[in-house]
Amino acid sequence: MCGIVGYTGHQDAYNVVINGLRRLEYRGYDSAGIVLDTDNGSFEVAKTKGKVDDLVAVSENLKGRATVGMGHTRWATHGVPSDRNSHPHISNNGKLALVHNGIIENFDAIKTILTDKGFTFKSETDTEVLVNLIQYIMDTKPELDFSIAVRFALNEVYGAYAITVMHADYPGVLVVARLGSPLAIGLGNQEYFIASDASPFVEFTKEAIYLEEGHMATISLEKGVDIRSIKDNSKIDPVVQELKLNIEQIEKGGYEHFMLKEIFEQPKSIHDTMRGRLLVNEGIIKMAGICDHLEKFNNAGRIIIIACGTSWHAGLIGEYLIEEFARIPVEVEYASEFRYRNPIITEKDVVIAISQSGETADTMAALKLAKEKGAFIYGICNVVDSSISRITDAGSYTHAGPEIGVASTKAFTAQLTVLSMIALKLGSHNGTLSTGEFRNLIAELYAIPKKIEEVLETTHDTVKEIAKNYIGAQNFLYLGRGYNFPAALEGALKLKEISYIHAEGYPAAEMKHGPIALIDENMPIVIISPRKGHYDKIVSNVQEIKARKGQVIAIVNKGDDQVTAMADYLIEIPETSECFSPIVASVPLQLLAYYIAVYRGANVDQPRNLAKSVTVE
Ligand code: M6R
């Protein structure tokens, strides 16, 4: 989704903004722009469809011209990606510049009113309407201060936004506001940074204020950061946080892509997820969020898991885990469906939201709905202090470290690790798991990082070779049973996201109810077939595929014989309990998608049309 960077200070604003935009590239975008408040009191604007490199090509002459400015990477909502629709947008009188992440839902009605007043519009965006609304308010009420006019305008719009606004008559001042989309303010030494997340300014300062929902701030070197409520202008005391993020975590560290780096980080990230929580020698799990609320979970009528995309796949595996080990009924819902279907939610329900970014608009809205209805809401997020983590009653961070590649990899396996710990803890607490079973399972879970190390070592070259055969594939089918059915869904999602090959995940047994019609000698089928978990049934499924000449790429355990005898390509992984096998099996699936995409020349870290945090619905 759109990225925002702003700066006021003593450095070259061009460099700070451009470098900051590069750090936000991972969020996904289709155009970019910059505006600087130059020393002669006028705005210099450059914007273009394309990437930050394209922006640099048309704006390098702006280097060294200003110490105040802001930039934007746009993910199109209103109007196609084009130079005209790119941000920043400038008001009709040329005095105001605005960048925006989100959607102004009533922009059309406001546009009609402004058009009647004589305003003209160069773009199809909702953002250009907002900047002109601010101008209109300042024109009609000249006594109003710039920030007050912004506040008035924001009280006229509804939707979701994070904005930064500059006014040519207020040099050095940035006005920012947030409703639904994140915004952080970095506090430097005689300088301030604005950004959609802290990554653009982490090398300059470790102190930041995360703007809260419904708050705005006026920022200048003279007056510092003045935070107010958008609604009633009441003053708000800033909460300054120390950033834990460091620069190495957001760089590629010698890997060709962030996605490959993140796949290879999984032994460590899973270990970090368990660190201090899964104490294998003591035979305990002590994870604060869950341990403090065990009775809440135990007494729950049911658990509802809400999420989107990859996190939804993790939720499905969570359902299997919690129902198997804790015997509490679980439902898993797409957040976007849940929020609009008038669901039955009671005070006895526990709602778990899973979100890597913690900013997904649909998940956030579904969670708010559940909260309104009195459910206990629990978050599983990767990004510390993200919006979702802040509105939940309790939760567990996944601690996978920053995930920059748009395709989620290490965050997914960390989510599975957290869900495993939750299920095992609940089961041991309510007695559905015996002490012996619990101890065996936690020992197995603890061994997963080592097994993933082994998978990375032993399957990397094999998967690379297999991938070469499928550069021209048009379709893929991914099959699995039990715990590995959601793993098949996730494998298919990874492939389509980054390689643009159509792929479907299916429960292997469902194949005969439809997808089998697609199978011929051109159809590659990835089948997850570990020995533990319906192995005999999977063997029959492979036979059915081979009888129709489908090409089988099988993920098997070492020493497998029956599937091995029939498969066209084999990827061998170490054996583990069925319930943890999706964590291990996901790694070669991620590598397969990655290499097919790389060989097809796709932009793996920033796939077309996709965004890392989906902050619009
Ligand atoms: O940040 P979230 O986990 O809430 O994001 C949900 C989905 O947008 C996300 O998982 C998406 O499907 C990824 N691109 C998957 O790789």
Please tell me whether residues 474 and 566 are part of one structural domain: yes
356 lines ligand 1 (CB under 6 A): yes
For residue 407, give the ligand 1 atom closest to its CA: 16
Of 108, 98, 103, give the one whose Cα is nearest residue 135.
Answer: 98
Do 96 and 187 fall into the same domain? Answer: yes
Please tell me whether residues 210 and 126 are part of one structural domain: yes
We report the CATH number of the domain holding residue 134 as 3.60.20.10
Question: Which residue has its alpha carbon closest to ligand 1 atom 2?
Answer: 355
Helix ranges (H only) for 77-160 are 107-116, 126-140, 146-154
Q: Which domain holds residue 231?
A: 3-250
Residue 405 in any domain: the answer is: yes
Collapse the DSSP code of 79 into the 3-class scheme (helix H, G, I; strand E, B; otherwise coil) and give the result. Answer: coil
Q: Are residues 514 and 604 in the same domain?
A: yes
Task: Indicate if 474 and 512 belong to the same structural domain.
Answer: yes
Closest CA to 612 of 23, 203, 7, 12: 23
Torsion angles phi and psi, residue 451, rounded to 5 = -65, -35
- Do residues 161 and 309 share a domain? no
pLDDT (0 to 100) of residue 133: 98
**Domain-embedded: residue 482:** yes
Domain final position from 446, 470, 503: 446
613 ligand 1 Cβ < 6 A: yes
What angle separates helix 52-59 from helix 13-23, to the nearest 10 degrees?
160
Ligand 1 probe mutation, 1, 360, 367, 406, most atoms within 8 A of CB: 360
Q: Is 73 in the pocket of ligand 1 (CB under 6 A)?
A: no
Which residue has the least CA distance to atom 14 on ligand 1? Answer: 407
Distance (Å) from CA 424 to ligand 1 centroid: 25
| Same domain membership, residue 126 and residue 34 | yes
Report whether 414 contacts 273 (CB < 8 A). yes
pLDDT of residue 27: 82
Rounded-to-integer distance, Cα 159 and Cα 134, Å: 16
Please tell me the predicted confidence (pLDDT) of residue 488.
Answer: 98
Q: Whose structure tokens read 């409703």?
A: 179
Q: 426, 446, 466: which is the final residue of a domain?
A: 446
62, 46 Cβ separation under 8 angstroms? yes
Residues 611 and 506 in one domain: yes
Q: 363 CB under 6 A from ligand 1?
A: yes
- For residue 451, being part of any structural domain is answered with no
- Say yes or no: 169 and 292 in one domain: no
Residues 277 and 329 reside in one and the same domain? yes
Kindly state the tokens that stand for 283: 């035979």
Q: Please report whether residue 307 resides in a domain.
A: yes
- The verdict on whether 612 is a catalytic residue reads yes
365 Cα–ligand 1 center, Å: 15
pLDDT of residue 248: 77
Question: Could you say which of 427, 446, 465 is where a domain stops?
Answer: 446
Domain contains 347: yes
Over the chain (617 residues), the average pLDDT of each successive run of 10 is 94 97 88 90 90 95 94 89 93 96 92 97 95 98 96 94 95 94 94 95 95 96 96 95 82 90 96 95 92 92 96 98 97 94 92 96 94 95 90 95 94 98 96 96 97 97 97 96 97 97 95 90 95 91 94 96 96 96 98 98 92 81
Looking at the domain assignment, is residue 276 inside a domain? yes
Cα 4 to averaged position of ligand 1 atoms, centre (Å): 20
Helix (H) or strand (E) segment spanning residue 20: helix 13-23
Among 390, 383, 385, residue whose Cα is nearest residue 355? 383
* Residue 42, in any domain of the structure: yes
480 three-class SS:
strand
Whether 160 maps to a domain, the answer reads yes
Domain count, the chain: 3
Q: How far is the CA of 110 from the centre of ligand 1 (A)?
A: 33
Site to substitute for ligand 1 among 310, 336, 613, most atoms within 8 A of C-beta? 310
Q: Is 127 in the pocket of ligand 1 (CB under 6 A)?
A: no
124 with 185, same domain: the answer is yes
Whether 409 lines ligand 1, by a CB cut-off of 6 Å, is: no
**Ligand 1: distance of its center to the CA of 10 in Å?**
37
291 in active site: no
Angle at 612 between CA 244 and CA 604, to 5 degrees: 110
Question: Separation of 311 CA from ligand 1 center, angstroms?
Answer: 6
Q: Do 245 and 263 sit in the same domain of this protein? A: no
For ligand 1, atom 12, name the residue with the nearest CA: 309
CATH number of the domain residue 269 falls in: 3.40.50.10490
Both structure tokens of 7: 């700066």
